A and B are shown apart, each in its own frame.
Chain A
Amino acid sequence: MERVDGYAPLRDYALIGDGRTGALVARDGSVDWLCLPDVDSPAVFARLLDAERGGSFRLEPVAPFEVERRYLEGSNVLETTFITAEGRVCVTDAMTLTDTRRLSPLRELVREVEALAGTVPLRWAFEPRFDFGRAQSRIERRAGRWIAQAGADAVVLGLWDAGDGELRNGGVTGELALAPGESALLSLAAANREPALIPGRRDTEARLESTKRFWPEWAGRLRYEGAWPDAVTRSALALKLLTFAPSGAIVAAPTSSLPEWIGGTRNWDYRFTWLRDACWTLDAMLRLGGHEEAHAFFWWLMHASRLTQPRLQILYRIDGSGHTEEQELDHFAGYRGSSPVRVGNGARDQVQLDVYGGVLEAIWLYGREVGRLDGDTGKEVGRIADYVVEHWRDKDNGIWEVRDEVTHYVQSKALCWVALDRACKLAAEGLIPDRAGRWRDAADEIKAWVEEHGWDEQLQSYVRAPDMRELDASLLTLAVLGYDSSRLRSTIAAVERDLREGPYVYRYRGGDGLTGEEGAFLTCSFWLVDALARTGRLDDANALMEELVGLANDVGLYSEEIDPRTGEFLGNFPQGLTHLALINAAVTIADVEAQGTERAA
């Protein structure tokens, strides 16, 4: 792989993680992104956002090399094989799970090196930059280990048969060369607001082995019998890495400010949970048999939104708090010069009415599966539905979080209909207090509004908004979420005509209050698959899905967007919504093939 100005193509990254944070490992063996201790904490490695100042943990052959890599079968443990003229060496990267029976580091990244053939000299460089490089850090050798620390954070570098390392330019560097059959181990044990743990080799290896055992066991519990099983399983494994286990929340992506266009300004922090994704999340989890995760996520959803209910904030921190103030890191250049680099997300204060459709759909899916909702939860859900009745006429920023003026987005209104429709269904099942008469009247009113103001006779399609007579790929969600209309087929055809280029689908062509371009939005492509399957175009759905599965990177991951001209990944990576949409599209196709369109809808 070739780096451009020190930056690896986003396609060349793989994610490893432990359910609390995640690291991005490039094909050349460099860990270029790691936030500690949690996924939304400041980064200690952020070479992804500044090749010079960001910090990284590199491990690569000294001589020119080629790379083969893969995740271990059904696992989030990464195996990278470097091939040089001298031989082959394999590096296994993982973030280990906590051994509850023994004292374990708060977080631990392990890199196991095994010589396969010949003797391949390797070099490594540990260059931590705490708090996105803003903190004054110190590296010292204590207790026979290199310990980097800044404030309440510390990282202990464990080296076994990997050389002693020497302090150089604010980092520690070293070299190693292993004969065939020999192995070395490098580890980072992180501490935060507690004494650092100095793990031994045997304990570290034991945690690595149990981590290797855990992932295939977890993946083996997934329930899916359809086409593209590898892509579905990989997506589920990726989502598991995006799940913040201590609270059950799921981040949209583990990264911040990866640009939607190289050199552009559309660089956002995605290390939060968007409530809109709730329905896709619950749907995917329940459809794959991930009941424990679905249960945990539902509890998080209802608990996190408690402070603002019945109004729902569009995004929340993974610990459930709502403060997500946005700031810019001026000292970072940004990925390939794409600035500003932002942490925090100002979209929190926007009004996005589609959220209510997503959340009520999620509650409906959960309630239907579990068969009961607690009394308090039921009352809260009823109040949310009442709020929709009172506010569906408001203008909003829409699903795409347009930072321009608010308007009446058609997709938002249709999802308000979805919200009230699901509330009626929940009431009919006796899961929430029954105010279905009021909710059904409002739903009918919304539907009449959508049909009158949201439809364009000339385009033969619903449009983005009454004052924006253009196509919007988010309208595909109307088909996916069961909006009741005979106009969906022609809307889908119009979206294909105006927004689709091969397998790629753009969100919209019009403005959004921001300058610059953006790539095609991968989630929209999978929504299109889903919509096609649900409206009887199964062959088209299968064909498109086949193409889309081929767009993943070498380890099966997707970013948010893609440049159709080059195939380059854009936006935060890996993107949860893309993987959720992939799973749901594949399961819909499987359902339709097995049972027909009615059941899948």
Chain B
Amino acid sequence: MISLWGALAGGAVGTILLTSGLRIAQEVGVTRMDIPLLLGTLFTDRRGRASVIGYVLHFANGLLFALAYYGVFRAVGHAGWLFGAGLGVVHASLAGGALLTVLLPAVHPRMGTPWTDAEKAPLLEAPGFLLLNYGRRTALWTLVGHVVFGAIVGGFATGLY
């Protein structure tokens, strides 16, 4: 039995854990990765406001990804925390290899890219490949965070069996 509501609940819990985990990593000096700030500054250059907007957006993204996980679970007819964790690896690869490193800089009005030249003065440095610009251990924390997210979504989608 694969539950949509279970997947969404897992998405909510998983996103909270993922965001909190990255925040802790920031506070203990492991990474400068700040997803709410990166997302929020799409709309404003005021840090406080950007963080609030960013948290909301990241939470919404978490639910959307939970829906995507649910779609995969239904398509293959299987779910569970282990399978979810595996999808988490794919999710982390997408986030670290494309979403945050290529797509976000391409659309972010305040972020530099390798093509940004002397004509512009962006406010945010780009994350770089595997987010390494934000600290060498950023990729590891991102991977762990997404694996935890995937495991929770997978587990919740099957009622934690």
Contacts and interface: CB of A to CB of B under 8 A. Distances in A.
Q: Tell me which of B31, B117, B122 has the highest count of chain A C-beta atoms within 10 A of its own C-beta.
A: B117
Interface string B97-132: 000000000000000111111111111111010001
Interface in A336-383: 374-377
Contacts of B125: 246-249, 300, 303-304, 319-320
A218 B117 CA distance: 13
Contacts of B135: 307, 321
B32 A303 contact: yes
Given A296-B123, A303-B32, A319-B128, A240 B134 contact: no
Contact of A240 (B32, B116, B118): B118
Given A214-B119, A320-B133, A246 B47 contact: no
Q: Tell me which of B119, B128, B135 has the highest count of chain A C-beta atoms within 10 A of its own C-beta.
A: B119
Nearest to B50: A374
A303 B119 CA distance: 22
A83 to B, nearest CB: 31
A309 B48 CA distance: 19
* A: interface residue count bin: 35 or more
Contacts of B117: 18-20, 97-98, 245
Interface of A: 17-20, 37-38, 97-98, 100, 104, 106, 192, 214, 218, 240-241, 243, 245-249, 292-293, 295-296, 299-300, 303-304, 306-309, 319-321, 323, 374-377
Q: Interface on chain B toward A: helix, strand, loop, or mixed SS?
A: loop
B36 to A, nearest CB: 11
Contacts of A245: 112, 116-122
Contacts of B30: 307
B77 interface: no
Contacts of A308: 29
6 contacts: A97-B118, A245-B121, A246-B122, A295-B121, A376-B48, A377-B47
Contacts of A295: 121, 123
Interface of B: 26, 29-32, 46-48, 51, 112-126, 128, 132-136
Contact of B113 (A246, A303, A304): A246
Nearest to A300: B125
Nearest to B49: A374
A155 to B, nearest CB: 16
Contact of A214 (B26, B48, B113, B118): B118
Given A246-B125, A246-B126, A376-B51, A18 B118 contact: yes
Contacts of A307: 29-32, 135
A511 B31 CA distance: 39
Contacts of B48: 374-376
B114 A19 contact: no
Given A245-B118, A245-B120, A295-B121, A319 B133 contact: yes
Contacts of A240: 118
Nearest to B120: A245
